[in-house]
Amino acid sequence: MFSASFSLDPDFTIAPVSRRTFGSFVEHMGRCVYTGIYEPGHPTADSDGFRQDVLALTRELGVSLVRYPGGNFVSGYRWEDGIGPVADRPVRRDLAWRSLETNEVGIDEFMRWAGKAGVEVMYALNLGTRGVQEALDVHEYVNHPDRTRLAELRRSNGTPKPYGIKMFCLGNEMDGPWQTGHKTAHEYGRLAAETARALRSAEPGLELVACGSSSSQMPTFAAWEAEVLELAYDQVDYISAHAYYQPIDGDIASFLASAIDMDHFVNSVVATADSVGAKLKSTKKLKISFDEWNVWYLREFQEGVESAPPDWEWPVAPRVIEDCYNVADAVVVGNLLISLLRHSDRVPVACQAQLVNVIAPIRSEAGGPAWRQTIFHPFAITSRLARGEVLRVELQAPTYETKRFGAVPVLDAVATHDAESGDVTVFVVNRHQSGAADLAVSLAGFAGDLRVAEAWTLADDDLTATNTEEHPDRVVPHPAERAEVSDGVLKAALPPVSWTAIRLTPAA
């Protein structure tokens, strides 16, 4: 048992909670679209073929925004293949995931799904095999009201009003040699800037995301951002960041501290962007779209790809990276959300990758059920409870040693305050593998008494426990055993390897 503490004050804020922090990602990859969100003939399918069980879980998850249609997929995608009569749509090779794309679901279908799910769409443009003209064509189809050829084509395809998409990604992971149409930073920076200028000529108020590094471990990290932004700084609003985490060689201690790396990643990109802004004498503060993040057992996937036969067939919607998440994974996801909230002043957009089946919080089976993975729960509760302003937290806690990061705090935390309701919510993880923690949070800065309205903890004696089709609720949050306010101090007991959320509300 060890002790930790911090103080909260409503005057010490970071930034408003951005609803776009709770974004997700749908890529035409594996079973994310087909038998994920879309499965005509499924017992729950609606008239458009969308699985209503998955839609219900998406709403419960609290997703605010979805990045679409990729991902690596987008760098070879021809958007026009996915419009018009479905029977006339071509089947294409997807080089990114070595599968066949039937194009049964295209932009019109996906926008209908997004409307049902109640989510905003961030559309990713193909700057791998295509460029400025394709970007303008997509924009004309989705956003121009009428009279032009592509606007009228959209109308004839059944959507009279424009979709009004406001956020566009200028390509995907163009720094990666695996990317179809991979470019140098100079090549991509020029293309991104020219595409952005053209799009702003069509609609000045768009929000545009330039490709940052696909990982902070890339050999070109930071140098890529610097060169791209020197060419495109004034034309874009965000630069992207992507990060995936997994335990390496059984090193759970470092894995549980993955948010240390996310914090460093964000701080490094912010420093690089601000340096470029200063060099260009710009008053604009560029922001980060952390539009791919999650736990991903990437090594296992890469080893599987390397061992695949050279004559591997081109399947439709194969099972690809359908990781089954455990308790430790859920605690790490909860901690990554803490990191994202902590950086809300510079990271107002984030997308957990992906939504269904593919490294996802939701799993589904063709013709069968859909269920919540362990990582579903911290996301859903954080999305529901994080409201108002993000508060500064200066945590006093002991440390433990990790191979990757050295000494790291045993606890990590963030808090939010909703001035309208008076609610204060504390999100905290205990990374220690054997020690429970006593947490004390001073609430002296708040006028009036606060009481615990709800408190949830996700923890389990078996860190490898998972949710499956047979046992979909093996791992769920439980009411916290001890969370109470006494004399202006919130006291809580935190089990080892746990994620906890506590909402306080003004006492009656």
Break the chain into its structural domains and give their ranges. 2-9+390-506, 18-385
Highest CATH level, class, for 2-9+390-506: mainly beta
Q: Token match 């004839």: residue? A: 156
pLDDT (tens digit, 9 = 90+) per residue, 182-235?
999 999 999 999 999 999 999 999 999 999 999 999 999 999 999 999 999 999
- Is the predicted pLDDT of residue 496 greater than 90, yes or no? yes
- Is the predicted pLDDT of residue 305 greater than 80, yes or no? no
- The C-alpha atoms of residue 211 and residue 126 are separated, in whole angstroms, by 12
Average pLDDT, stretch 24-49?
98
Is 173 part of the annotated catalytic residue set?
yes
Predicted confidence at residue 308, as pLDDT, reads: 67
For residue 116, the one-letter residue type is K
Predicted confidence at residue 196, as pLDDT, reads: 98
Predicted confidence at residue 39, as pLDDT, reads: 98
Predicted confidence at residue 481, as pLDDT, reads: 84
What are the CA-CA distances from residue 92 to residues 37, 78, 101, 165, 316 (Å)? 20, 9, 5, 26, 10
Pair 138, 127: CB distance under 8 Å: no
The number of beta carbons lying within 10 Å of the beta carbon of residue 181 is 18
Largest CA distance in the chain: 69
Predicted confidence at residue 300, as pLDDT, reads: 82
Band the pLDDT of 1: cuts 50, 70, 90.
Answer: confident
CATH topology for the 18-385 domain: TIM Barrel (3.20.20)
The percentage of residues in the chain with a pLDDT greater than 70, rounded to a whole number, is: 99
Q: Which of 173, 225, 401, 469 is catalytic?
A: 173
pLDDT (tens digit, 9 = 90+) per residue, 342-368?
999 999 999 999 999 999 999 999 999
* Mean pLDDT, the chain, integer: 97
- Is the predicted pLDDT of residue 309 greater than 70, yes or no? no
- The C-alpha atoms of residue 111 and residue 158 are separated, in whole angstroms, by 12
Band the pLDDT of 98: cuts 50, 70, 90.
Answer: very high
pLDDT (tens digit, 9 = 90+) per residue, 104-163?
999 999 999 999 999 999 999 999 999 999 999 999 999 999 999 999 999 999 999 999
Q: Which of 109, 225, 292, 389 is catalytic?
A: 292
The number of beta carbons lying within 10 Å of the beta carbon of residue 225 is 28
Predicted confidence at residue 299, as pLDDT, reads: 82
Is 27 part of the annotated catalytic residue set?
no
Average pLDDT, stretch 262-281?
98
Predicted confidence at residue 303, as pLDDT, reads: 75
- Is the predicted pLDDT of residue 261 greater than 70, yes or no? yes
